[in-house]
């Protein structure tokens, strides 16, 4: 019947009776006990690894943060950071990476590179990519709400790493400068390519054999299991296709004249593999 929450105190201190907020949910509870291998503690401080038990059964997941109400961190899905790139392949705008922030791993994209630093002159240069050993100020868009601090306020909660989703290798590191809220100065409409990038795929209209298209439910499910959002149109018209392309979806049709690409494979498995290879970013 034991339920405790194990972690490391990043800053400050905690003692039984303190009221804590769980972020990002915002639910609160009081500390019942501070438990270690050697027994219970009357108080714990920054740097200590402890287990907290709470007086209420609130939902707390891996990567959540417990904080005092008067010491809330930043809470956002967008952040500005200084990053150093550590991979041969450059940092690319809108490519999907995993960001490890604290103990949680969140899919994320760099949506803007404000500038790259010339390490010899410290000049701020315009850049579309960040090369190996490059340093740049960027905007990171997380796929989920996260709690964090500016690096100057807390090194443990203000730093993160980029992880390549294919190799699982660390490709970059960052220091958070600030959270970013809604930018009301941006008035450009959202494009189909932006929506497709958000889904982690290339939007495309692909013609496949009629017999394969007849297995629409199986085909769509197989592609979804492979990480792609696709829709089969048995009786496609150009207006429908254009609307789905604006949504960033992969459209499968049986009319080559309406498609960007025609696949000659006749088996379901072969079609799935070809669509995945064409549509993955």
* pLDDT of the residue at 190: 84
Q: Per-residue confidence at 253, pLDDT binned at 50, 70, 90?
A: very high
Residue 177 in this model has a pLDDT that exceeds 70: yes
Q: Which long-range contacts (CB under 8 A, 24 or more apart) does 112-118 make?
A: 112/138, 112/139, 113/137, 113/138, 114/80, 114/138, 114/139
Residue 140 in this model has a pLDDT that exceeds 70: yes
DSSP letters for 103-147: TEEEEEEEEEEEEEE-TTT--EE--SEE-TT-EEEEEEEEEEEEE
Residue 146 in this model has a pLDDT that exceeds 80: yes
Residue 214 in this model has a pLDDT that exceeds 80: yes
Q: Per-residue confidence at 183, pLDDT binned at 50, 70, 90?
A: low
The residue whose two tokens read 């969140």 is: 106
Least confident of 54-68, 127-141, 177-191, 253-267: 177-191
Measured N-to-C along each axis, helices 216-225 and 268-279 cross at an angle, to the nearest 10 degrees, of 40
Buried b (16+ CB within 10 A) or exposed e, 165-178: eeeeeebbbbebbe
């Amino acid at each position: 019947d034991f339920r405790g929450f194990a972690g490391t105190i990043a800053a400050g201190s905690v003692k039984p009776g303190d009221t804590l907020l769980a972020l990002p949910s915002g639910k609160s509870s009081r500390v019942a006990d501070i438990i270690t291998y050697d027994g219970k503690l009357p108080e714990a401080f920054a740097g200590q690894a402890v287990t907290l038990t709470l007086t209420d059964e609130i939902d707390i997941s891996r990567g959540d943060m417990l904080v005092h109400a008067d010491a809330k961190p930043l809470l956002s899905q967008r952040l500005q950071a200084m990053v150093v790139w550590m991979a041969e392949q450059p940092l690319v705008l809108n490519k999907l990476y995993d960001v490890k922030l604290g103990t949680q791993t969140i899919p994320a994209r760099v949506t803007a590179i404000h500038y790259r630093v010339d390490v010899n002159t410290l000049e701020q240069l315009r850049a579309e990519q960040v090369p190996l050993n490059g340093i740049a100020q960027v905007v990171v868009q997380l796929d989920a709400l996260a709690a964090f601090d500016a690096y100057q306020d807390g090194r443990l909660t203000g730093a993160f790493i980029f992880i390549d989703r294919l190799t699982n290798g660390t490709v970059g590191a960052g220091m958070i400068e600030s959270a970013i809220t809604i930018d009301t100065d941006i008035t450009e409409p959202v494009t189909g390519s932006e929506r497709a990038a958000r889904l982690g795929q290339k939007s495309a209209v692909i013609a496949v054999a009629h017999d394969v298209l007849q297995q629409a439910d199986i085909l769509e499910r197989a592609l979804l299991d492979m990480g792609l959002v696709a829709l089969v149109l048995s009786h496609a018209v150009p207006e429908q296709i254009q609307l789905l392309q604006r949504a960033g979806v992969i459209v499968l049709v049986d009319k080559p004249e309406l498609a960007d690409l025609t696949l000659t494979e006749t088996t379901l498995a072969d079609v799935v593999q070809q669509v995945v290879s064409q549509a993955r970013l």
